[in-house]
Structure 1
Amino acid sequence: MKINIVITMVLFLFSFFINGQTRSVNGKVISEDLEPLAGVQIRNSDNELLGETDFDGQFKIIISGKNDTLCLDFIGMEFTEIKLKEDCNNVEIIMMYYVIYDFISSKKIDRLRKKRYKKLNEKHLFATDKGIFQYKHSCYIRNFKQLQLD
């Protein structure tokens, strides 16, 4: 009986080291209008659902150590992809609205989107000043992606 328990414990510890380390990441997701977003789906780069935000836009997820990319998706918002830094355990994200531009070239659309994207840092600081966010600087990398129009 004791041997079975010992073997089970060893296998459990061995499987833990094979799968790698995990870490807990928590945070908050808001819109450009600084309103919390409830129901934002958070996925990893393998498109595996990790969790969703609650009514206040808060979330807490567990990710594997090898996966450092989070993808956020919500109806009416642009798809957001962030790359977490190594010591990043608390993320505060502002999602941009998905805007339909009629009768405009894709280059002009991207110029307008980039203009809004550049204002996200200012909005982050404003959200910190209003007490919505805790940290003045984000601990992740977020790059602007041009639209892929067909």
Structure 2
Amino acid sequence: MKKLAIIFIVLCVSHCSLYSQNKTIKGRVISDDFEIVPLASIMINDTVEIGRTDLNGFFRIDIPASAKKILFRSVGLEPAIIELVDTCNEVEVVMILSGTYDFISHKKADRLRMKKFKKLPALHKEALMKGIFKTGKACYTQDFMPHYEKKQK
């Protein structure tokens, strides 16, 4: 009877831990001019703040294993939404400085923003060469978010 009770308890505890698995992500956030980004908000599901970067741009967060997208926000920088790969636990993010695009169309502003966005992989490699990052390639995907979307006819 004692053995049966122990087996039952072990099965219950292991079953409960399957539903509450978290993943620890650590990393660093910098801007596209290689300055650290202190106190940037880190969010999942676009509303749940799960952490902030420290004064040196480093962070360590626990996210649910089911969460695949992380949003980074900071004043003066464009939001960065990254989609994690399953094996990714070290995230190093380069955020683009937010600009003011006065007296031009949204379409042209998006072209200028896209130009900066395409330089992100090269900036990541340069940050590695300068000793800011530890990895040479990002283990996540990041999509461009346009402000202007073509209307469907």
Q: Quote the Cα distance in structure 1 between the aligned partners of 2:145 and 2:41.
A: 19
Match status 1:15 vs 2:9: no
SS, match of residue 123 in structure 2: helix
- Residues 2-44 of structure 1 deviation map (CA, whole Å, 9 limit, x = unaligned): xxxx89987655432233x211000000011101110000011
The gaps in structure 2 that reach 5 residues or longer are 1-5
Q: Quote the Cα distance in structure 2 between the aligned partners of 1:15 and 1:8.
A: 11
SS, match of residue 77 in structure 2: coil
- Residues 70-113 of structure 1 deviation map (CA, whole Å, 9 limit, x = unaligned): 00110111111000000000010000111110010011000000
SS, match of residue 79 in structure 1: strand
> CA 1:102–1:46 in 2, change beyond 3 Å: closer, same or farther?
closer
Under a length normalisation based on structure 1, what TM-score does the superposition of the two structures give? 0.88
> CA 1:10–1:137 in 2, change beyond 3 Å: closer, same or farther?
same
Task: Give me the identity figure in percent.
Answer: 34
Shift of 1:56: 0.7
- In structure 2, the residue matched to 1:72 is 72
SS, match of residue 109 in structure 1: helix
- In structure 2, the residue matched to 1:83 is 83
Aligned length: 144
Map 1:1-150; keep pairs closer than 5 Å. Answer: 13-19=14-20, 21-45=21-45, 47-147=47-147
Shift of 1:68: 1.2
The letter for the 1-side match of 2:18 is F
- In structure 1, the residue matched to 2:3 is none
Under a length normalisation based on structure 2, what TM-score does the superposition of the two structures give? 0.86
Q: Quote the Cα distance in structure 2 between the aligned partners of 1:127 and 1:46.
A: 28
The letter for the 2-side match of 1:124 is H
Q: Quote the Cα distance in structure 1 between the aligned partners of 2:46 and 2:30.
A: 24
> CA 1:47–1:12 in 2, change beyond 3 Å: closer, same or farther?
farther
The gaps in structure 1 that reach 5 residues or longer are 1-5
